[in-house]
Structure 1
Amino acid sequence: MTSARENSHGNGAGLPRVPSIPLSDDASTPGDQSIGGLVRDATTHLSTLIRGELELAKSEVTGEIKKGLTGSVSLIIALVVLLLSIPFLFVAFSLGINDLLDWEDHPWAGFLITFVIFIVVVALLVFVGIRKFKRIRAPQRTIDSAKDTIATLRGRGDDEHYELEPRRP
């Protein structure tokens, strides 16, 4: 057996050992083996090759999954930081309204206007969401197909009325 490090010309840091197929068999020469022995050897070599390929694929996929997880964690942390910084944007927006309208004596007014704007945006999003939910329909073609399949399996494919549950006595 050789290792994955040896198979990859020294660039296999951390990879597990992967079985390899021997290029020569010292036990006998090709002319001395029977057909059964050749088939057995071919089966053994094929099995070793497939196991080696699966081990190589497993080690490569494992490495890529680790990279993907690291990238995902970085993106999740960035999203959390972004979400935590949003209130500062809203405070700046409210204070900007106060400065724009020259209401330094009443800072609550800018925050109230910002709150009303958010309530209007939330109401619009709720309205759109409810309309989308009301448009959801049952998968009628799938239901009909399932009923047809059940009726066919029961041997009653010519009936027009199908039941999903078996009849009880």
Structure 2
Amino acid sequence: MSGTHTGPPSSSGDPSTGELVSQLSAEVSRLVRDELRMAQLEVSGKAKKMGIGAGMFGAAGLLALYGVGVLIATAVLALALALDAWLAALIVAVVLLLAAGIAALLGKSKVSEASPPVPSQAIGNVREDVDAVRHPGMHH
């Protein structure tokens, strides 16, 4: 019977503390692996749904763009009832280009209001803090 038992002799055959720690470590490791596997499956399932949803949004945007195109064609055809077809198309094109120009000017003014994208208030506060640290006796 010698050489079969490596730990200290135990009277009741219970596992040693080292064996218990080893078993606990193996169980925790297995649980973590199982949880990670389940999380990976859940995330990949959600990613597929998000991909399908994004594709549907893209299709909706494309269909809306086609709808706007048909509305523009309808405006041209309606004007063509009273004017020549080329003149109706020209009028609608000019109106669309004017609308695009106005949108571009409004967008440019919003961008120039926001630029430069530097937190000037925060920079001023930091400068005041640095000055206060350099000259502790002086208050602004």
TM-score of the alignment, normalized to the shorter chain, above 0.5: yes
Aligned to 1:55, the other structure's residue is in SS state helix
After TM superposition, the structure 1 stretch with the greater mean CA deviation from structure 2, 107-116 or 136-145, is 136-145
8 A contact 2:76–2:92 mirrored in 1? yes
Residue of structure 2 equivalent to 1:123 = 101
Amino acid at match of 1:107: A
Residue of structure 2 equivalent to 1:40 = 22
Aligned to 2:134, the other structure's residue is in SS state coil
CA RMSD of aligned residues (A): 2.8
Aligned to 1:109, the other structure's residue is in SS state helix
> Does 2:115 correspond to 1:139?
no
Larger Rg: 2
Question: How far did residue 132 of structure 1 move?
Answer: 0.5
- Identify which of structures 1 and 2 has the higher relative contact order when contacts are C-alpha pairs closer than 8 Å and 6+ apart: 1
Normalised TM-score (structure 1): 0.58
Q: In the aligned structure 2, how far is the partner of 1:139 from the partner of 1:41?
A: 56
Normalised TM-score (structure 2): 0.69
Structure 1 residue runs of 5 or longer lacking an equivalent are: 1-29, 152-156, 160-169
Which structure features the higher share of helix residues? 2
Figure out how many residues of one structure are paired with residues of the other and give that number.
120
Q: In the aligned structure 1, how far is the partner of 2:73 from the partner of 2:38?
A: 54
